[in-house]
Structure 1
Amino acid sequence: MIKLYDYWLSGNCHKVRLMLSILKLEHELIPINIKELEQKSLDFLQLNPFGMVPVLTDGTEILRDSQAILFYLGMKYGGDWLPREAVAMSKVVQWLSTSAQDIQNSLAAARVHFLLGRDLNIGLAQQRAHNLLKTMDKHLETRHWLEGDRPTIADIACFPYIALAGDAKVSLDDYLNVVTWLERVKQIEGFVSMQGML
């Protein structure tokens, strides 16, 4: 059975929970208490030497990093969730990079600052968030999904921390296309929410 080592407050864990739910994949959630540093325990470090969640196991396979896990689930179980043609797949992977870099260093970082007290330049993180949201809003002017004519793992990768923008004290009021896209994602069969989502 698939097992997901999970922290309930993590947007990166949420994107994996969301994908598992959409794909209707039976799985077991194994809670990891980040505040108690369970992710740094010797047992957990056997799964992920970097000491971070999420981690997914599927039989003998052990995968870390939410983007890699989404790619795996899309490739193995996802059908149209990950295009197989080279250009289309590459465009989806571009958004996985956006999620891991631009979203992580802006909205996700600001959220951790406000929820967990992590020290950072909050003004810079929020400015990066607005720059990202302006770019995404423009991109979504003429399309329903981030790439292609249907949702892909790109949408799942980028969704959580944007939907959690309120926790980062970043308003989405000026980004109507982004807000409309968030609502589309919420209408996908199997969608699951989490605390703090708009």
Structure 2
Amino acid sequence: MSNANAINAAPVKLYRNPKSGHCHRVELMLALLEVPYENVDLDMANGAHREPAYLEISPLGQVPAIDDNGITLADSNAIITYLVERYGESIAWTGTDPIGKARVQCWLSIAAGEIAAGPCAARLVTVFGAPLDHEAAKARAHALLKMMNAHLDGRDWLAADRPTLADIAGYSYIAHAPEGGVGLADYPHVRAWLARIEALPRFIGMAPSPVLA
């Protein structure tokens, strides 16, 4: 990977859990932008995310977080926004006018809200054993997918006539929704949208996670 703005700089360190869709969101953005990076997998089961050194980078002890040559930042949506402003053509990824920027921001909010409470939460139960209401999470996921499927009828992308941060923020947990018991068979426009993202140059996927018995 290479990027003119990253020449002579050390790779971006991405602190992550490899099973996290929030972390994959950032890794996908780094890959699409051709920004050199290295993954730092945290041993969260043994409290690595609560160590004082990591809390200096991510005060809430959450992943993902990055260290970009001394610039540290947590929160996946904040990080991908930073990356396109720092290393990409930000207008292409965030919108060319006020309404375009607002539409992208709307989907970033959906990623932090409905996606987190729906397909993400359902997957937290089946992959991580989180003590959440699985049936409620699946119901919220299907309500979201129904809306997205209607929205994508006649559209290639969520917020513009090209891929934007909206699509990157939405991809990981929608693509892996079946791991949470949320099937995608009834949402053909969503599945076509996922395929378009996966066809982007330099796309990298997130490895499937085993579901708890």
User: TM (normalized to structure 1)?
Assistant: 0.96
Query: Aligned to 2:76, which of 66, 78, 87?
Result: 66
Structure 1: gaps (5+ residues): none
Q: Which residue of 2 aligns with 1:159?
A: 171
Equivalents in 2 of 1:182, 1:39: separation in Å?
31
Q: Which residue of 2 aligns with 1:34?
A: 44
Q: Which amino acid letter does the alignment assign opposite residue 175 of structure 1?
A: Y
SS of equivalent residue, structure 2 residue 45 = coil
- Paired residues in the alignment total 197
Say whether 1:77 aligns with 2:82. Answer: no
SS of equivalent residue, structure 1 residue 35 = helix
Q: Which residue of 2 aligns with 1:104?
A: 116
Say whether 1:192 aligns with 2:204. Answer: yes
User: TM (normalized to structure 2)?
Assistant: 0.89
- Residue by residue over 1:141-197, the C-alpha shift from the partner in whole angstroms, topping out at 9 and shown as x without a partner, is 021000111001110000000000111110101100000000000000010012228
- Residue by residue over 1:45-72, the C-alpha shift from the partner in whole angstroms, topping out at 9 and shown as x without a partner, is 1111100000012223211000000111
Q: Which residue of 2 aligns with 1:17?
A: 27
Higher mean displacement: 27-36 or 100-109: 27-36
Structure 2: gaps (5+ residues): 1-9
SS of equivalent residue, structure 2 residue 44 = coil
- Deviation of residue 84 (structure 1)? 4.2
The 5 Å alignment of 1:84-163 reads 84-163=96-175
Paired-residue identity, %: 38
What's the RMSD between the two structures over aligned residues? 1.2
- Deviation of residue 43 (structure 1)? 1.2
SS of equivalent residue, structure 1 residue 62 = strand
Runs of 4+ in 1 over 4 A off after TM superposition: none
